[in-house]
Amino acid sequence: METKMFNILIIDDHPLIAQAYMLALNELKKSKEDIDFIIDICHNCTDGYETIKETVSNKKSIDLVFLDISLPPTKDGKILSGEDLGIKFRELLPETKIIVSTTYSDNYRIHNIIKSVNPEGFLIKNDLDPDELIKAIEAVLDGKLYFTESVLEVLRNNVSSDHMLDSMDRRILYELSIGTKMKDIPNVLPLSIAGIEKRKRNLKVIFNIKKNSDKDLIQLAKKKGFI
């Protein structure tokens, strides 16, 4: 019997979560003798992006990536989270199947990730148990979609919006969160002060913030997992 080998990449900054994925993969391999896995692990956006670029440069492939959303950003602040890495996968390695995992269960956050990354699997970590994780891996490798119950509930309720935070919105939030002054943001982002202010006003509408305070905007963006 010929064994099919899958290249798996785990990107998660929590070693116990990465270990849980590896255990699930091993259990799946035991139940299906015709498959095997080559597994690599990254713990932050920098290493994840480097792995993507090396894979493309070497003309290799990644069959499946487990992608945590809340990851340490790159030092230059250009890739802020797993969501940005997911967008890079879609751009540079479009054949890679993506299983997103996150602790964030906010409806708007889930909707934003689905629209920007379009993952084959979407797991809310609090919903997971070992058996469901194995089912998710098996389904996605078999070409199916797999969403945990919290995500399905969002889709059933048709939580949608014409507004979606793009990478520039999230970069603005990030710069504000690390204390970059408004007058200095055009030095790191290709936007004018007027353009930044317009985006900030739109963000406050999206997050339903009545006050004119950037502090309230940053606090809510952090709570919802955008920074």
Q: Which residues contact 19 (CB under 8 A, 6 or more apart)?
A: none
Is 135 part of a structural domain of the chain? Answer: yes
Q: Domain containing 71: what range?
A: 4-157
Total domains, the chain: 2
And the tokens for 17?
A: 């979560």
Edge-first strand order for the sheet with 35-42 is 35-42, 4-11, 64-68, 97-102, 121-124, 146-147
Q: Which residue has the tokens 């950037």?
A: 214
Which of residues 130, 157, 184 is at a domain's end? 157
Regions of the chain where pLDDT drops below 50: none
Domain co-membership, 37 together with 19: yes
Q: Global pTM?
A: 0.77
How many CB atoms sit inside 10 A of residue 49's CB?
Answer: 20
Domain co-membership, 196 together with 131: no
Domain co-membership, 150 together with 179: no
Which of residues 157, 175, 199 is at a domain's end? 157
> What's the pLDDT score for residue 104?
79
> What's the pLDDT score for residue 3?
87
- Give the orientation angle of helix 107-117 with respect to helix 82-92, to 10 degrees: 20
Domain co-membership, 185 together with 149: no
Is 162 part of a structural domain of the chain? Answer: no
d(CA 138, CA 116): 24
CA end-to-end distance (rounded Å), the chain: 48
Domain co-membership, 180 together with 131: no
Domain co-membership, 143 together with 104: yes
Domain co-membership, 105 together with 83: yes
Domain co-membership, 106 together with 25: yes
Domain co-membership, 177 together with 152: no
How many alpha carbons lie under 13 Å from residue 20 in its C-beta half-sphere? Answer: 17
> What's the pLDDT score for residue 162?
52
Domain co-membership, 149 together with 171: no
Q: Is residue 66 within 8 Å of residue 48, measured between CB atoms?
A: no
d(CA 27, CA 133): 10
Q: What is the pLDDT of residues 154-200, one digit of tens each?
A: 777 655 555 578 888 888 998 898 899 989 999 988 889 888 888 88
Q: Is residue 18 within 8 Å of residue 41, measured between CB atoms?
A: yes
> What's the pLDDT score for residue 13?
93
Is 174 part of a structural domain of the chain? Answer: yes
Domain co-membership, 31 together with 136: yes
- CATH number where 125 lies: 3.40.50.2300
